[in-house]
A = this chain, B = another copy of it.
Amino acid sequence: MRDPVRYAMIGGGEGAFIGPVHRTAAAIAGNCRLVAGALSSDPERARRSGAACGLEEARSYASYQEMLDAERALPEGQRAEFVAIVTPNHVHAPAAIAALEAGFPVLTDKPLTDTLDAALAIAEAAARTGALVGITHTYTGYPMVKQARDLVASGDFGPVRRVAVRYTQGWLAKAEDSVGKQAEWRVDPSRSGLAGAFGDIGTHAFNLVEFITGERMTRLSAEIRAAVHGRRLDDDGAAMFHLEGGARGTLVASQICTGDSNGLEISVWCEEAGLHWRQEQPNSLRVARRGRPEEIWTPGADRSYLGATAMAATRLPSGHPEGYLEAFANIYHDFAEAVRGRVPASPSYASLEDGIAGMRFIQAAYDSSARGAEWLDLSGDMT
């Protein structure tokens, strides 16, 4: 905390869900400090929100452009060192590009943008300015997810052969659920983008597959749909897919799975062992090796069997549960370190390339579904 990395936030004002999550995560991270914000597109709401967050009045701005201009003008030791973007999806690209062009690294919520074109425009701006971009795919911040990635990467378990991932929620199960600040923009194509559930949570599932296996998804066949009558964006879908190493997989992403809360779970079967993780019990990684009793790996500073990456993402002794906010904190921690030039070996945040892969996934799922679940390639040139 001696010299925390200063950051500014775009979006996340009154009534937002993910804005406070980012701010608390940064507080837990211990190496970041919120110094500026354009917390709402409504100037009065932005002002009130800034005050509630403890921002100095002068650094609570009415718009992100105003903020970027003002912060850029501040002395180096005062101005924000990176910008966090927590708006609805359609604002990610303009805000990120403006920030990058103003010289600020950008940490944005997922998915990267509302459209693949917008994502590629960010990539273009990042390439031009050389500034760092990260995406907060929360779940890669969990120590046991990192451990799973390390176990696969070690090669000891042999090649990945099958993956099953699902991300099921029930909060949009009924037509009347599509109200309220959280739901409204998520079911509105002009703010969310092409995809609803597949964009909102399908990309998390997709990213988790690529993160743990260390492989890119190469092809998919998807069926997505609005199961609730009258909705304009998908709220339910599934896909079969291939990974670059030859593994096959299934992915379900749905927000109409009544009774489910935040049901992200993944199984990765390698030739010598299976790995199983559920977000709602994030401190357990089941490792099932051929011919041996199943093992339950858990985090903790006293767990000598864990790899360095998982250890670094753990802040408590074993048996003291860490949760969603701590996972998120790891993302902020690693991004702030990277902003100062200390890029972790295996960072918790998703890279720009990962984010673009996510957008290709959304686009391909949408297109495949529109063509009767035709198999489509996900590969694409990155500009």
Interface residues of A (CB under 8 A from B): 1-2, 4, 17, 20-21, 24, 27-28, 30, 51-54, 161-162, 164, 166, 168-171, 173-174, 221, 223, 225, 227, 236-240, 248-250, 252, 254, 256-263, 267, 269-274, 279-283, 287-298, 300, 302, 304-305, 315-326, 372-373, 375
Could you tell me the distance between the alpha carbons of A325 and B315 in the complex, rounded to whole angstroms? 10
A-B contact sample (10 more), CB < 8 A, given A170-B274, A261-B320: A24-B315, A27-B28, A162-B252, A162-B257, A173-B271, A223-B248, A225-B248, A258-B271, A258-B290, A259-B294
- A52 touching B294, Cβ below 8 Å: no
Instruction: Find the residue from A240, A282, A283 having the highest chain B CB count within 10 A.
Output: A240
User: For A305, what are the chain B residues with a Cβ–Cβ distance below 8 Å?
Assistant: 291-293
Given contacts A28-B28, A221-B221, A291-B305, contact A262 B296 (CB under 8 A): no
- B248 touching A373, Cβ below 8 Å: no
User: For A292, what are the chain B residues with a Cβ–Cβ distance below 8 Å?
Assistant: 295, 305
- A373 touching B30, Cβ below 8 Å: no
- B316 touching A324, Cβ below 8 Å: yes
The 8 closest A-B pairs by CB, nearest first: A259-B288, A261-B319, A262-B319, A321-B323, A1-B54, A259-B274, A293-B295, A261-B318
A266 → chain B closest CB, angstroms:
13
A215 → chain B closest CB, angstroms:
16
Given contacts A164-B252, A274-B257, A295-B293, contact A319 B269 (CB under 8 A): no
User: For A270, what are the chain B residues with a Cβ–Cβ distance below 8 Å?
Assistant: 258
A51 → chain B closest CB, angstroms:
6
Q: 5 interchain pairs (CB within 8 A)?
A: A28-B28, A173-B271, A237-B248, A239-B240, A373-B373
Could you tell me the distance between the alpha carbons of A164 and B168 in the complex, rounded to whole angstroms? 11
User: For A271, what are the chain B residues with a Cβ–Cβ distance below 8 Å?
Assistant: 173-174, 258
Instruction: Find the residue from A166, A249, A323 having the highest chain B CB count within 10 A.
Output: A323
Could you tell me the distance between the alpha carbons of A168 and B267 in the complex, rounded to whole angstroms? 11
Could you tell me the distance between the alpha carbons of A290 and B17 in the complex, rounded to whole angstroms? 21
Given contacts A270-B258, A321-B280, contact A298 B290 (CB under 8 A): no
